[in-house]
Copies of this chain bind each other. A is one copy, B any other.
């Protein structure tokens, strides 16, 4: 099964998409297999991280903001704003796709894992994800 999800972001930051991906897996009827999530963008990305303490998400974003400065004078691709090239670098450093096992008909994440869409642009966007579920 392959479905698409449309996710609204609120500018830079992480949006938990776990429940929507898990629901797609449950609808697929696949008992044992692989669920691959893909993001159709290059200035937003995917990351698996801890869902228990929200300061983890804040720290992740703060670390990446320092590691990849917006408006870095190194960058020549500047036409789309100071946050565009940094967004592409942040996306390259994280994931465009993640494959997660499906067990007993459910997304088999670790106890503390959640899947996040990471918006790297300042402005809110509508982002497209695909979820592909394959039986093993």
Contacts and interface: CB of A to CB of B under 8 A. Distances in A.
Interface of A: 1-2, 32-34, 36, 38-43, 47-50, 53, 55-56, 58-60, 62-63, 66-68, 72, 74-77, 79, 85, 88-89, 91-103, 108-113, 128, 130, 132-136
Contact of A88 (B38, B50, B95): B50
Contact of A2 (B1, B33, B60, B68): B33
Classify the secondary structure of A's interface with B. Answer: mixed
Given A53-B77, A99-B99, A134-B34, A89 B110 contact: no
28 contacts: A2-B33, A2-B101, A2-B136, A34-B36, A36-B99, A39-B110, A40-B110, A41-B110, A42-B48, A42-B49, A42-B110, A42-B112, A48-B91, A48-B96, A50-B88, A53-B79, A55-B77, A56-B77, A56-B85, A59-B74, A59-B77, A59-B85, A60-B89, A62-B75, A93-B94, A103-B130, A108-B130, A110-B128
A1 B32 CA distance: 8
